[in-house]
Amino acid sequence: MTRVAKRYNIDYKKRVDKDRDTYLPRWSPGGVLYCRGCGSTYYRRRWTLQPPQEVLDWGAFRNEIRFALCPACRKLREHYPSGELRLVGVPAREEQEVFRLLRNEEERAREKNPLERIMRIQRDAEEWRVETTTEKLAQRLGRCVRKARGGKVVFKWSHNRKFARVLWQKEAAVE
C-alpha cells in the first residue's frame, strides 16, 4: 500500500487565528528562507539579521535557500503596524537627538530580532507618531525615550494584545 505524501498548504494568509501574528509563518520550512527585502535569514524557526554560521558552513543548503519576504517587510509593504508610539512635547531643540535615539534603539532591537522595525515616523507641530512592526518595539522605544529624556510613558493594549499603543509625554499629563 502506497501513501501519497500530502503537500501542506502554505497559503497561511487565508487562515484566520486571532491569537497569533498572522504574519509569522505557520509552517516550518525545511531549508532556509532569505528575505529579499531586508536580507535577513530564516532558519530553524528564527529570523536573524546575519545567516547563522551553520547555514554559511553547510554548502548543501544553498540549493534549499528560497527567497521570500520576512514578516516585517510584508508588514511594511502592506502597511500593517503592530505598535504605535506617540511622542508629545518633544522640544524643537531636541528633535534631532530624539530621532537619533529612536533609530539607534531600533538598530539594537534588530540585532536580536530583525522583525522589529520602525515602519514610519510622522511629525507635526503637536506630536510624533512612530509606527512599529511589533508591539514590543513600540514599548521599547517609549522606555528608551523616557530614560534619555525624562517625561512619562503610558502603555495601552488592544483587547487581544496584538497592538500596543504607547504614549510618551515630556510633561506628565494632569490626571
C-beta of 116 vs 153, nearer to Zn ion: 116
Environment class of 23 (CB within 10 Å of its CB; exposed 0-12, middle 13-18, buried 19+): buried
The residue written with cell numbers 498548504 in the block is: 9
32 scored as a contact of Zn ion (CB under 5 A): no
87 scored as a contact of Zn ion (CB under 5 A): no
33 scored as a contact of Zn ion (CB under 5 A): no
76 scored as a contact of Zn ion (CB under 5 A): no
Question: What is the closest distance, in whole angstroms, from the C-beta atom of residue 75 to Zn ion in the complex?
Answer: 9
Any bridge partners for residue 86, and if so which?
129, 167
Residues 34 to 73 in contact with Zn ion, rule: CB under 5 A: 35, 37-38, 70, 73
Cα 11 from Cα 19, distance rounded (Å): 18
Question: What is the closest distance, in whole angstroms, from the C-beta atom of residue 132 to Zn ion in the complex?
Answer: 15
**Amino acid, res. 116:** E
CA–CA–CA angle 35, 37, 42 (5° rounding): 20
> What are the residues binding Zn ion (CB under 5 A)?
35, 37-38, 70, 73
